[in-house]
Amino acid sequence: MARYETLREDELASDRKQVVVEQVSHSFAGQMLAVDEMSFTVGAGEFVVIVGPSGCGKTTILNIIAGLMRQQTGEVIVDGQAPRAGRHDVAYMFAQDALLPWRKVIDNVLFGVEIQTGSRRPSREVRENAESLLSMVGLSGFGDAYPRQLSHGMRQRVALARTFLMPSPILLMDEPFGALDAHTKLMLEQGLLRLWDRDKRTVLFITHDLAEAICLADRVLICTARPGKIKSEIEIDLPRPRDINQLQHDPKYHELYQKIWEDMSLEMQM
Amino acid sequence: MQSKSIAMTKVERPTSDARQAVLMHIWEKLFLYAGRLLIFAGLAFVWWAIVALGWVDKLFISTPQDVAVFLYQNFSNELVPNMLATLLATLIAFAMSGIFGIMAGLLLVEVPLLKKLTDPFLTAFNSMPRIALAPIFILWFGIGLPSKVALAFSLGFFIVLTSTFAGMKNIDPILIRLSRSLGCSGWQQFTKITLPWAVPSVFAGLKLALIYSFLGVVTSEMLASKIGLGQLIMYYSGILRMDAVMGILIVMAVVAVALTLIADSIEAALLGSWTESSASTKA
């Protein structure tokens, strides 16, 4: 963890942009534009949330940054290089848990690192990390369970632990809590904040939930409906570390919510 | 971090109620077996009654007591050797179907061009009534073990091939996305994701192939064979010995049930822990 801390100070000093998206457009075969000249940056150690209606090409842009697909026009630079799938400095978390049903919870948590290191047997340090991550997401004692024995929310927590066990400094998160009930969602958001406060990694997080965006982000980017384009951006200068329950009583939080909501309603023409 | 364990669904763990539950379970099982025995006895009684009342001539369906006598008198000298011959052929055909079916299935998944090229032939061969091949196999391999195995293999092979192929193909796309984003090599993706994913489907195919191998062997024996349950049934029905025919049918049913039970318990031991409610693995 200390490693990220120092990394971040160096990078902030040089004001380094870890993810740069420049005039990126993309359309799928025979369809209208999915992403239209989208541009934004994410600084090192920054938590940026893109919020927008469904179908605004949010997942497309994340897939491009992750190197799973290539943009048609424009440029994307991730930590000084073009995106490539399987880079060890980028970890990607999906809306679905994507757990391997034949692996126990602990072995699912270890899976990402196992692929990155190419070794089936993790070091003791990694194993201990995995166990402490499991307890941080409230799943201590569940290491030997199989995914099928867990509820939906618990499985997503395992996926969260798997993502954070990888030492990748850049995290891409594609509506990771989108399919969960409100209560579980709050729990996981708090868990994510805790993990982020610990490591201060660069996060690009996508959601359609405005409250979630404000609770988590340093900066919120508002995305228009199809074709997707960044319409505006808002600094969220709420103090950290944040407690999501406390935020609900903070007038500033509601002010921000109101402001962004108006922005978005204009966009969605409701 | 103050981790309050919130809203956790419990994983099954032995609690104070667990013993009670186990007891209930045993009673339920006992009830089930007693019920089945009762149904069996009831059927035998009806069988006996319709002959005793003269509704159906004994010549056509024999009687339970005659069948029991036949089974008792001919068990070790006739039934067991024939059953073993049938079982041996079944197991050889099953093993070959398993090995070659899985290998062919994997090959077709890994080499899509091969799949495209051979697809019409495979479909044609697979939809052909395989029983029609039996005379050819008998001509080629004679009336011994090889012709039985050949017919059974022609059934089992395609079942295993199809289920292996389908199992590999129906993989959850999110796992492929995970694999790509993590940078799995082709080999890693194959061994760590696609192959284990296909295992339940392959198993389902293997179980089916086992029963079909039995069917193929018995069919081949009925057409031409020196030994085996199928050959025995043809012989006895030819001389109108219905007690023997019925008895052999019962032996076949017992063999089929035993094979299924063994396969089920092997499957449960190997995969039970993660597949029991496989529906819940889908988002």
Q: Are A247 and A253 in contact (CB under 8 A)?
A: yes
Is residue B130 within a helix (H) or strand (E), and if so which, with residue range? none
Q: Are A108 and A120 in contact (CB under 8 A)?
A: no
User: In this structure, are B22 and B88 located in the same domain?
Assistant: no
**Phi, then psi, of A247 in degrees rounded to 5:** -55, -35
State pLDDT tens for residues A121-171: 889 999 999 999 999 888 989 999 999 999 988 999 999 999 999 999 999
| Residue of chain A with shortest Cα separation from B271 | A102
Q: What is the C-alpha separation between B81 and A71, in angstroms, rounded?
A: 70
Is residue B258 within a helix (H) or strand (E), and if so which, with residue range? helix B242-275
What is the torsional sign of CA B82, B87, B90, B95?
negative
Instruction: Choose the weakest-confidence range: A217-221, B16-20, B228-232.
Output: B16-20
* Mean pLDDT, residues B242-256 taken together: 95
Q: Is B173 on the interface with A (CB under 8 A)?
A: no
Beta bridge partners of B230: none
| Residue of chain A with shortest Cα separation from B273 | A146
Domain that holds residue B2: 1-56
Joined tokens for residue B120: 């019409």
Q: SS3 of B28, please? A: helix
Beta bridge partners of A33: A27
Q: Report pLDDT for A180.
A: 84
Nearest to B70 by CA among B239, B259, B257, B256: B239
**Nearest CA of chain B to the CA of A92: how many Å?**
7
Q: Is A183 on the interface with B (CB under 8 A)?
A: yes
Taking CA atoms, B254 is separated from B74, B230, B251, in Å, by 16, 15, 5
User: In this structure, are B125 and B235 located in the same domain?
Assistant: yes
Joined tokens for residue A178: 């989108």
Q: What is the C-alpha separation between B69 and A209, in angstroms, rounded?
A: 77
Q: Give the domain CATH number at B221.
A: 1.10.3720.10
Using the beta-carbon criterion (under 8 Å), do B283 and A97 form an inter-chain contact? yes
Q: Is the pLDDT of residue B8 over 50?
A: no
Residue at which a domain ends, from B12, B37, B56: B56
Looking at per-residue pLDDT, the higher value among B49 and B3 belongs to B49
DSSP B185: -
Q: Is B178 on the interface with A (CB under 8 A)?
A: yes
Disruptive mutation site among B12, B178, B273, B276 for chain A (greatest number of A CBs within 10 Å): B178
Using the beta-carbon criterion (under 8 Å), do A148 and B8 form an inter-chain contact? no
User: In this structure, are B36 and B73 located in the same domain?
Assistant: no
Q: Is A102 on the interface with B (CB under 8 A)?
A: yes
Q: Which of A91, A103, A154 sits opposite B9 (nearest CB)?
A: A154
| Residue of chain A with shortest Cα separation from B176 | A98
Residue at which a domain ends, from B30, B56, B82: B56
Joined tokens for residue A9: 């100070």
Q: Report pLDDT for A6.
A: 47
State pLDDT tens for residues B217-242: 999 999 999 999 999 999 999 999 99
pLDDT confidence band for A176 (50 / 70 / 90): very high
pLDDT confidence band for B15 (50 / 70 / 90): low
User: In this structure, are B245 and B139 located in the same domain?
Assistant: yes
Using the beta-carbon criterion (under 8 Å), do B6 and A138 form an inter-chain contact? yes
Q: Report pLDDT for A137.
A: 86
User: In this structure, are B49 and B72 located in the same domain?
Assistant: no
Using the beta-carbon criterion (under 8 Å), do B183 and A116 form an inter-chain contact? yes
Q: Is A55 on the interface with B (CB under 8 A)?
A: no
**Nearest CA of chain A to the CA of B277: how many Å?**
7
Q: Report pLDDT for A269.
A: 57
Using the beta-carbon criterion (under 8 Å), do A97 and B177 form an inter-chain contact? no
User: In this structure, are B68 and B49 located in the same domain?
Assistant: no
> Could you check whether the bond before residue A227 is cis, i.e. omega within 30 degrees of 0?
yes
Using the beta-carbon criterion (under 8 Å), do A86 and B280 form an inter-chain contact? no
Q: Is B39 on the interface with A (CB under 8 A)?
A: no
Q: Are A147 and A99 in contact (CB under 8 A)?
A: yes
Q: What is the C-alpha separation between A160 and A106, in angstroms, rounded?
A: 12
Q: How many helices (H) and strands (E) does chain B have?
A: 12, 0
Cβ-Cβ contacts under 8 Å, B278 against chain A:
101, 148
User: In this structure, are B38 and B64 located in the same domain?
Assistant: no
User: In this structure, are B126 and B147 located in the same domain?
Assistant: yes
Q: Is the pLDDT of residue A56 over 80?
A: no
The amino acid sitting at A194 is R
Q: Report pLDDT for B18.
A: 73
Using the beta-carbon criterion (under 8 Å), do B177 and A183 form an inter-chain contact? no
Q: Report pLDDT for A1.
A: 42
Q: Report pLDDT for A248.
A: 87
Using the beta-carbon criterion (under 8 Å), do A68 and B280 form an inter-chain contact? no
Q: What is the C-alpha separation between A202 and A184, in angstroms, rounded?
A: 24
User: In this structure, are B211 and B273 located in the same domain?
Assistant: yes
Report the side by side order of strands in the sheet with A73-78. Answer: A33-43, A17-27, A73-78
Q: Report pLDDT for A268.
A: 61
Joined tokens for residue B208: 């089916």
Q: What is the C-alpha separation between A216 and A46, in angstroms, rounded?
A: 11
Q: Report pLDDT for A109.
A: 96
Q: Is the pLDDT of residue B280 over 50?
A: no
User: In this structure, are B98 and B114 located in the same domain?
Assistant: yes
Nearest to B282 by CA among B171, B130, B188, B176: B171
Disruptive mutation site among A149, A156, A170, A184 for chain B (greatest number of B CBs within 10 Å): A149
Which range, A98-107, A245-254, B18-27, has the best average confidence (pLDDT)?
A98-107
**Nearest CA of chain A to the CA of B272: how many Å?**
10
* Mean pLDDT, residues B91-118 taken together: 95
State pLDDT tens for residues B23-63: 888 889 999 999 999 999 999 999 999 999 999 999 999 99
| Residue of chain A with shortest Cα separation from B172 | A98
| Residue of chain B with shortest Cα separation from A179 | B283
Q: Which of B4, B181, B275 sits opposite A85 (nearest CB)?
A: B181
Looking at per-residue pLDDT, the higher value among A18 and B249 belongs to B249
pLDDT confidence band for A30 (50 / 70 / 90): low
Q: What is the mean pLDDT of chain B?
A: 89
Q: Report pLDDT for A171.
A: 95
Q: What percent of chain B stands above pLDDT 70?
A: 92
Joined tokens for residue A240: 């950290």
State pLDDT tens for residues A73-116: 899 999 989 999 989 999 999 999 999 999 999 999 999 999 98
What ranges in B128-172 are assigned the alpha helix state H?
A: 134-141, 145-169
Q: Report pLDDT for A17.
A: 87
Taking CA atoms, A224 is separated from A17, A32, A164, in Å, by 23, 14, 30
Using the beta-carbon criterion (under 8 Å), do B196 and A102 form an inter-chain contact? yes
Q: Report pLDDT for B34.
A: 95
Q: What is the mean pLDDT of chain A?
A: 87
What is the torsional sign of CA B257, B259, B262, B268?
negative
Residue at which a domain ends, from B39, B56, B73: B56
Cβ-Cβ contacts under 8 Å, B273 against chain A:
146
What ranges in chain A are assigned the alpha helix state H?
A: 2-13, 58-65, 105-117, 124-136, 152-165, 182-199, 210-216, 244-247, 251-268
Joined tokens for residue B104: 């062919």
State pLDDT tens for residues B116-140: 999 999 999 988 999 999 999 999 9
* Residue B88 buriedness (CB in 10 A; 0-12 / 13-18 / 19+): middle
Q: Report pLDDT for B6.
A: 39
User: In this structure, are B63 and B191 located in the same domain?
Assistant: yes
**Nearest CA of chain A to the CA of B189: how many Å?**
10
User: In this structure, are B195 and B239 located in the same domain?
Assistant: yes
Q: Report pLDDT for B276.
A: 66
Number of domains within chain B: 2
Q: Is B188 on the interface with A (CB under 8 A)?
A: yes
Q: Is the pLDDT of residue A206 over 70?
A: yes
Q: Is A135 on the interface with B (CB under 8 A)?
A: yes
- Residues with Cβ within 8 Å of residue A205, at least 6 apart in sequence: A47, A48, A49, A50, A171, A173, A176, A213, A216, A217
DSSP A149: G
Using the beta-carbon criterion (under 8 Å), do A148 and B280 form an inter-chain contact? yes
Cβ-Cβ contacts under 8 Å, B170 against chain A:
none
Looking at per-residue pLDDT, the higher value among A16 and A13 belongs to A16
Looking at per-residue pLDDT, the higher value among B196 and A268 belongs to B196
Using the beta-carbon criterion (under 8 Å), do A68 and B175 form an inter-chain contact? no
Q: Which of B11, B174, B182 sits opposite A86 (nearest CB)?
A: B182
Nearest to A102 by CA among B174, B166, B270: B270
Q: Is B272 on the interface with A (CB under 8 A)?
A: no
Q: Is B5 on the interface with A (CB under 8 A)?
A: yes
